[in-house]
Every structure is written in structure tokens, then in C-alpha cells.
Amino acid sequence: MARRTMKGSTFDLAYYQTDQVIALFEPIVEQLVKDLPAHQSLDVTASTLSLLAGQLQQFQQDYMGILSRPGPTAPTRIPSKSFKITKPLTKRHPLFTILLATLRFRIKNNWPKWDFTILSKRNMELIHSIRSELIRRHQLQPPRITFDASVPSKDRKKLIPLIRKVEG
């Protein structure tokens, strides 16, 4: 079922289950499997990767979107443009990094099954981990924030935790 976002666009998880979209994930399956630890036993197919990408976006929209209240410990969202697919994926695409970081996080934390239907600490840690990997690979630029000399020290101290939250 399509859901309307604040900007009027719709998000439809079924889109990620169409044959045309699944085919765009085919070129990265083998490379993802190579880049994962050898002991992993995950089902990595174009279909599961496509669905995982959709579920991550849906989770962010539901629990970290403009209409939700994610709380003070929630990480900053992964930009939607990082999920954009217009042609078959390659290793250099941000979505490859997102999927690789997600699968590595699952293996590292012995996460047996995805559950993006709830707002959990583990899901928030996953989003933070993905953002950090995108930044490390220079696929996401953290904001650069500076204070004008006129900003009082008291206000700076209040703002610094917010800046750190967005990895600025």
C-alpha cells in the first residue's frame, strides 16, 4: 500500500518487489557475498536485497520521518537520495554501501531476523552504523557547522550535542 509523505510523494514497498527493480540488484549480489565474512549464512539474493532496501526506507519514514517523534537518541536519517536506483547497481553506489553495512551489522550482532516494524535501540544503532559507513566512504557529507562570534558560550554548549548527533 502506498503511503503519502509530507512532500506529497508516495512510498510503496511493493515497488521493491517488482521484477524490474529486483533486476537492478542482480549485479551486486556476488560482490556483496564476497565482501561479507566467510562464516555468514544469510540468504543474499537480488530479491532479498531489494526488499531490505525498501524496508529500511519504510522504517525511516515511519519512525524517523517528519511526522514521527524519534526521540533524542535517534540518529539522523539516511538521505533518500542514497537509496535512489535508476540503473543497475554497482559497488560504488551508496545503496551497495547501505546494504553491505546492514548485512555486516546483522552478522556482527547475531541478529537472526529483521524487525523494522518497531522502534528499537538495535534499529537505531543500525541506522547510525550505516550513516557512519557512508561518511567513511565519502558517499555522505556530514554537515559542517560553525558558530558566529556573536553566539554566546551558553548557547554553544546547548547546541554542541545536537551538532554531534548529526555528525557535524
Q: Is the pTM of this model over 0.95?
A: no
User: How many residues are listed for the chain in this entry?
Assistant: 168
Confidence bin at 82 (pLDDT 50/70/90): very high
Residue 6 has pLDDT above 70, yes or no: no
Domain boundaries, the chain: 3-142
Grid cell digits, residue 162: 545536537
Percent pLDDT > 70 in the chain is 85
Q: What is the pLDDT of residues 110-128, one digit of tens each?
A: 888 888 988 888 999 999 9
Residue entry with cell 515497488: 15
